[in-house]
Chain A
Amino acid sequence: MSRLIYLDHNASTPVAAEVVAAMAPFTTEHFGNPHTTHWAGRPGGEAIVRARAQVAELLGCSPAEIVFTGGATEANNHAIKGVFFANRQRGDHFVSTRIEHPSVKAALGYLERRFGATTTYVGVDRFGRVDPAEFEAAITPRTLLISVMHANNETGTVQPVAEIGRMARRRGVLFHTDAAQSVGKLAVRVDELGVDLLSVAGHKMYAPKGIGALYVRQRGRATPIEMDSLIHGAGQEDGRRGGTENVAYIVGLGAACALCGRLEVMVRVRELRDYFWERLRASFGERVALHGHPDERLPNTLNVGFRGAVGAEILSGLEGVAATTGAACHAGQTMLSETLEAMGVDEESGRGAVRWSLGRGTTREELEVVVERLRGVVSDRRQGT
């Protein structure tokens, strides 16, 4: 069998060789607990300081504003529940969108069901984009937090986060963005985006699964953001997140952030992505539809509806090609994904949706192979039905 063609980088990326190399010493000789002062722990403690600075450098914040977590799901839960439980006397209302990642949606839903919180879910246009004006209109005196993903995992559509951030600042409402999909693909700078909280996922940016970060704004604030911890423990992460630091993975996230500073690679990825779309258009004409914003979109993401086909069947016909029909978190579904539904994608195109997400290592040849194989698979399906 030929080499696997991996076009599922929005689900998880490979770990960069530089990242694995950076991690290696901390799974072997520098294995100590960073809280211990002796030789075994000290290198780990120092490495965490460096990694925190690397993450901060990429996001344009100060190292003290970074809390390492077990991933973006934890960061999102920490942001939403942390703000809620520390500020219940002040408010109980959230503003978010219909297309958030399950970890945001479910955290909000939990607070609604169990603690009487309310959320205004803002809809999206046919490109999957929200209207900032709707957020402002949704704000009430009880609003604690606005949470909007930076870029959508399924379509890659990038939200006007900076605009919402300016408005949130003006209205004095905390603003969180889930940047799991955008860090490493776009320039993500906390001041430009105007965010108070921002979630990072290691494994979407060539670091391993099991590490993430939450940015918590300190700079430019008169008082710290009142937040509860999600995981209570022995005072790690400045008392914000308990548990022995996952030193090797933290080092890996730092190294991955250092690599992401070089966004030129994404120019090439964008060209390949656009080339792939051109080839699909040339091969399938009006039978393919683009789901997502034509321009305001992650450079690596292409969500295509194959009219008259079913996404899962296309993928099962494409042996040796990894892609996904919806978000990986709810794979196996044949119904329209919530994101596509919210965009008002027509049923025929939505059922045939496949998300192709390219990576640094994707080649033109691989895309040629996929187009070629798709010709067989998609026309077969058409004849079969």
Chain B
Amino acid sequence: MRGCVFLLRLAGFVRNRRFVPYNDAMAPVYLDNNATTRPAPEVVEAMLPFLRESFGNPSSTHPLGQAARHAVENARTAVAALINARPQEVFFTSGGTEADNFAILGVLAENPKKRHIVTTAVEHEAVLRLCQRLETQGYRVTWLGVDRLGRLDPAEFEAALRDDTALASVMHANNETGVIFPVERLAQISAARGVPLHVDAVQTVGKIPLDVTAAPISLLSLSAHKLHGPKGAGALYVRRRVRLRSLMMGGHQERDMRPGTENVAAVAGFGRAAELAMATMHDDAPRIARLRDRLEAGLLEQTRGAHVNGDRANRTPNTTNIGFETLEAEAIVITLGENGVCISAGAACASGSLEPSHVLKAMGIDPIIAHGGVRFSLSRYTTESEIDETIHRVPPLLERLRKLMPAAT
């Protein structure tokens, strides 16, 4: 907390000194799309009827209820299509975190005798904290490490699987670095050992093609708000014949797997977002990757001591994680934020000190770089001029910051 307080003071200091005056004329540049994306206008459009005239409960048999039911089922078809699943394999949730909890706790509950889990040291907090908690409840967890580029070794994964392994849970792409794990290969390996594999695909769905029929992935988590859908909707893909217990108990919604009146509007928005992603992904991905590479090249060229964290050859097209030597990630985020460039730090500002992110730590990144590791994440709405503006704006800000705070503590 003390570190956070210091940083907030720094932000105030920066503002008060008019050191880097905030200029309203400067259009903000949003490069934090791995945190959340702007809902597409078409998505908002698709949601509105279900917040207005078409407000029925999908469980009601009258026409108003049935209109809502159709909307939910159409969305299910669209979301299923995006990952080449069958609609009946898709269960809507309140988001990616619930989907992760549903998958992991659901499989464990079905196999109470198996008490071992395989996962990685770089998972999203939803999986990370849940598995840490399960460790306190008598589960043994194997935390697979990654190399300097954030890559996972399939041989290590294979070696970690045991007879009492209930589940393996591996993210598709890392939220901080964008590094993609070979989940198709891991699925083959785990299937051969009879271990279900859960894939947290929150950061890849809608960004890169994903086909659940191409590999025996048992469960896969999706989140609407990472693909220009609304917050409050997600889904869990459950391969046919994979058995799991529901996280909640109640009504018969989602074929008894997820009770609670459906969030019709957000689900409809999710469906529309899936359709849009399907239609645009093919053309958008290379364009976004080009912009990302341009941003990366520009920042590396014009900033001292900047290093890309992660495997540049195998990342989601929209993400770059850059470590700026001797700088403090939160300070960078605040300073850039004050100047209309929205990004995120890998560092968590909750542990009492400014720890570098668990991801960069697991990669063994030199602390002097890891402490200054920040994430730029683009979207289909990112423009070339925004990227140029960022390349123009950021290096001088970092230079000033470096003078203000010469060394990380």
A13 at interface (Cβ–Cβ under 8 A)? yes
Docked complex: A202-252 residues within 8 A CB-CB of B: 203, 208-211, 230-235, 242-249
Question: When the two chains form the complex, which single residue of B98, B109, B130, B264 contacts A70, counting CB atoms closer than 8 Å?
Answer: B98
B250 in the interface (beta carbon within 8 A)? yes
B-chain residues with CB within 8 Å of residue A35 when the two chains form the complex: 35
Distance to closest chain A CB from B268 (angstroms): 11
Closest chain B residue to A110, Cβ basis: B249
Query: Which B residues from 120 to 175 make CB contacts under 8 A with A?
Result: 124-126, 129-130, 133
In contact, A15 and B35 (Cβ under 8 angstroms) = no
Tell which of B37-45, B286-294, B300-308 binds the partner: B37-45
Which residues from A are CB-within-8-Å of B233? 210
Q: Is B251 an interface residue (CB 8 A)?
A: yes
Q: List 24 A-B contacts (CB under 8 A).
A: A8-B57, A12-B55, A12-B60, A20-B52, A33-B35, A35-B35, A36-B342, A38-B336, A70-B263, A73-B248, A73-B261, A203-B261, A230-B247, A231-B94, A233-B100, A234-B129, A235-B129, A242-B125, A244-B96, A244-B231, A322-B60, A328-B59, A330-B252, A331-B61
- Do A27 and B39 touch across chains, with their CB atoms under 8 A apart? yes
Q: Which residues of B contact A (CB under 8 A)?
A: 28, 30, 32, 35-39, 44, 47-48, 50-53, 55-57, 59-65, 93-98, 100-101, 109, 124-126, 129-130, 133, 223, 225, 230-233, 247-253, 259-266, 333-334, 336-337, 340, 342-344, 350
- Decide yes or no whether A121 CB sits under 8 A from chain B: no
Is there contact, CB below 8 Å, between B55 and A210?
no
A12 touches B39 (CB 8 A): no
Of A107, A246, A247, which one neighbours B250 at CB under 8 angstroms? A107
- List of B residues within 8 angstroms of A321 by Cβ: 62
Which A302-333 residues sit within 8 Å CB-CB of chain B?
Answer: 312, 315, 321-324, 328-332
Alpha-carbon distance A245/B94, docked complex (angstroms): 10
CB neighbours (8 Å) of A284 from chain B are none
When the two chains form the complex, which single residue of B55, B125, B263 contacts A14, counting CB atoms closer than 8 Å? B55
A101 within 8 A of B: yes
With A27-B39, A70-B98: A15-B247 Cβ-Cβ less than 8 Å: no
Q: Of B93, B133, B248, B264, which is within 8 A of A232 by CB?
A: B133
Known A-B contacts A15-B51, A232-B129; the reply to A70 vs B232 at CB < 8 A is yes
> A322 contacts B64, CB within 8 Å?
yes
Contacting pair B65 A39 (CB below 8 A): no
CA distance A315 to B343 in the complex (A): 55
Specify which chain B residues have a CB less than 8 angstroms from the CB of A36 in the assembled complex.
32, 35, 342, 344
CB distance from B188 to the nearest CB of A (A): 29
Closest chain A CB from B223 CB (angstroms): 8
B129 contacts A233, C-beta separation under 8 Å: yes
**B28 close to A40 (CB less than 8 A):** yes
Q: How far is the CB of A50 from chain B (nearest CB, A)?
A: 17
Chain A 32-61 interface mask (CB, 8 Å, partner B; 1/0): 110111111100000000000000000000
Residues of B contacting A20 in the complex (Cβ-Cβ under 8 angstroms)? 48, 51-52
Contact indicator B94/A70 (Cβ below 8 Å): yes
Complex contacts, B65 vs chain A, CB 8 Å: 8, 11, 322, 328, 331
Chain B residues near A106 (CB-CB < 8 A): 249-250, 259
Q: Are A38 and B342 in contact (CB under 8 A)?
A: yes
* New A-B contacts (18) at CB < 8 Å, excluding given A234-B129, A244-B231, A329-B250: A8-B64, A11-B59, A20-B51, A31-B38, A37-B333, A38-B32, A38-B337, A38-B342, A71-B261, A72-B260, A73-B260, A74-B248, A102-B249, A103-B249, A232-B130, A243-B126, A247-B231, A322-B60
Contact A103 B260 (CB under 8 A): yes
**In the assembled complex, which residues on chain A have CB atoms less than 8 Å from the CB atom of B343?**
38
Say if the beta carbon of A182 comes within 8 Å of chain B.
Answer: no
A63-92 vs B: 1/0 string, CB under 8 Å? 000000011111011000000000000000
Q: Is A28 an interface residue (CB 8 A)?
A: yes
Distance in angstroms from A40 CB to nearest chain B CB is: 5
Minimum CB distance partner of B262 in chain A = A209
Cβ contact within 8 Å between B337 and A39:
yes
Partner of B94, one of A243, A323, A324: A243
Across the interface, name the chain A residue whose C-beta is closest to B125: A234
- Distance A201 CA – B251 CA, assembled complex (angstroms): 14
A39 and B250 within 8 A (CB): no
Q: CA–CA, A91 to B53, complex, Å?
A: 47
Tell me whether A33 and B32 are in contact (CB under 8 A). Answer: yes
Is the beta-carbon distance between A322 and B260 smaller than 8 angstroms? Answer: no
A202 to B213, CA, bound (A): 38
Contact between chains at A329 and B252 (CB < 8 Å): yes
Contact A208 B250 (CB under 8 A): no
Interface pair A322/B250, CB less than 8 Å apart: no
Asked if A40 meets B32 with Cβ closer than 8 Å, knowing A103-B260, A233-B126, the reply is yes
Provided the pairs A27-B47, A31-B38, A71-B260 are in contact, do residues A211 and B232 lie with their beta carbons within 8 angstroms? yes
Are B47 and A33 in touch, CB under 8 angstroms?
no
Which chain B residues border A28 with CB–CB below 8 Å?
Answer: 38-39, 44
Q: Indicate whether A328 sits within 8 Å of B57 (C-beta atoms), given known contacts A32-B35, A109-B249, A230-B247.
A: yes
Q: Find out whether the CB atom of A74 lies under 8 angstroms from the CB atom of B350.
A: no
A12 contacts B261, C-beta separation under 8 Å: yes
Residue A133 at the B interface, CB < 8 A? no
Shortest Cβ distance from B53 into A: residue = A14
Inter-chain CA distance A40–B29, complex, in Å, is 10
Asked if B260 and A31 make an inter-chain contact with CB atoms under 8 angstroms apart, the answer reads no
Q: How far is the CA of A333 from the CA of B95 in the complex (A)?
A: 31
Which residues of the other chain, A, contact B250 by a CB distance below 8 angstroms? 73, 76-77, 101-103, 106-107, 329
Given A11-B60, A27-B230, A209-B262; A103-B342 close (CB under 8 Å): no
Decide if B95 touches A12 in the complex (CB within 8 Å): no
**B248 and chain A: residue at smallest CB distance:** A77
* Contact A331 to B60, CB < 8 A, known contacts A27-B44, A107-B249, A231-B98: yes
Docked Cα-Cα span, A4 to B64, in Å, equals 9
- How far does the alpha carbon of A315 sit from the alpha carbon of B64 in the complex, in Å? 13
Distance to closest chain B CB from A178 (angstroms): 11
| CB-based nearest B residue for A104 | B250
Contact with B along A108-132 (1 / 0, CB 8 A): 0110001000000000000000000
A12-B56, A235-B125 known; A246 vs B231 contact (CB < 8 Å): yes
**B333 in complex: contacting residue of A38, A247, A330, CB < 8 Å:** A38
A232 to B126, Cβ gap below 8 A?
yes
Closest 4 CB pairs of A and B: A210-B263, A103-B250, A246-B232, A73-B260
Q: Determine the chain A residues whose CB is within 8 A of the CB of B333 once the complex forms.
A: 37-38
Residue pair A244, B225 in contact (C-beta under 8 Å): yes
B134 to chain A, nearest CB (A): 9
How far is B48's CA from A20's CA once the two chains are assembled, in angstroms?
A: 9
Q: Are A74 and B94 in contact (CB under 8 A)?
A: yes
Do A32 and B32 touch across chains, with their CB atoms under 8 A apart? yes
